[in-house]
Structure 1
Amino acid sequence: MKLKLVGLNSCIISNHDDHKEKGIDREMIIGQSQIPKYEENIVCVSLCHHPVEFWKFVDVIQDRIDKRIDVQLYGHKHEQAVSKTQERLVINAGATQPTRGKDWRPRYNWVSFECFLKDNDRHIRVKTFPRVLSDDRDRFTPDKDNCDIGKNYFIYELNIDKKRKKNLYDYEQCSCLPKESRIKEINLEEMTKKIGYDFLDLSDVQRLEIMSELQLIHNEYKGKSASQILDFVMADVKKKGYLDKFYKLIKKKQI
């Protein structure tokens, strides 16, 4: 089997406004186009900055992520947390720096992969060595709270063949768009915000096709961030009265 590392960009719309509202983190967008396709002979490992609890539409795409990505590595929170199921291993990693709160301690993980046969099925064994800065701040030592009993590491095993047979032919599509019957129930501001997220859910090519068709591409977009461009596009759409047409084109691309 081959080991494949996949980067997921959760920072497309991340900026200084992420924590604008006290105690509320702005929801990040991943987008269906970033989720890797099924590959039978591949062990898939993802790296992403924001953990899934910070994602918009997580209730829709979490299951698909778990089916297709075997080991998921996240950061952002600077707090070590490990989650295991029969479908995937998730490591929300601690951080070596910078300081985050009084209880924060520098950490890192060393992860190794092994492939083996068991009862004619291919398995992977993920061996993770979690390390934490010692109390005297002299060196990194095994983080016993995250290790198997009596070990300086923890083991996760996954039957890849069993998982692939179960999920390989699951080609269902999901739509994050509001149902037609609900459009009139949502006020204009909320609807515009939701459609903006749905627009970001498309691939780069699909977004450019829509912007080109509605003549929404302008020179002043050059050098701007994705969140800034989105604000410009949505303002342009509303100004031209294209909101309904814009929504229908997004829905068409989703299908």
Structure 2
Amino acid sequence: MLRVAVVGSGPSGCYTAQGLVEQDPGVHVDVLDRLPCPYGLVRYGVAPDHEKIKSLQNTLRAVLEHDRVRFLGGVPVGPGGVPADRLRELYHAVVYCVGAATDRRLGVPGEDLPGSWSATEFVSWYSAHPDAPGRGADGDRAADGFLRGVRSAVVIGLGNVAVDVTRILARRAAELSRTDVPHAALTALAASAVTDIHMVGRRGPSQARFTTKELRELATLPDSGVAVDAAELAADPACADP
């Protein structure tokens, strides 16, 4: 019997475990995660109003319920947790299926000013991530910091996460109440006074990384309008069609 440890229980970790047990009937897999709940970004990164994508958890759950797969939550690996050398002693093989757990700081002036938040902090807050700022003894402190007294928000970035953040800020609380958004975030969003949201990219439309589907969704939000400066849609000459 071969014992394999898979570190990380997001899609890559679950599919790795699935592939291992399907290819060899003698393999037993332990899926380790520092968080108490599995599914990684499917659980803690996908926006709560994207229920179809979040339903992927059902597929991943089937993997973790396999009789030769075991999920072990609350098991950090590395500094402050189980040493990597110890894992190699306990298992025949160790597969790491983890991503970046923290932001990469930009090092730009004003990055630490009040009201400046990373996408990781904001997404963690509305996704009930255990590491979200304000969880625990200080309660809704983060909710106040994100939205209290805010009327205009600026989202820097042109990827799907930027569109998610923009959409969550613009959605009505009644729509989000049908999702798994945590109560503290829902309460803060319901009381939000934000009326203007600006998406800002440092480059042009040719370098935008959001999908067309995500962008179109913004235009369907009730009581919202999308304004685009036509001059800013001019293609970068370096990216023009031949």
Q: Do they superpose with TM above 0.5? A: no
TM-score where L is the length of structure 2: 0.21
TM-score where L is the length of structure 1: 0.20
If asked which structure has higher relative contact order (CA below 8 Å, sep 6+), I would say 2
Bigger fraction of residues in strand: 1
Bigger fraction of residues in helix: 2
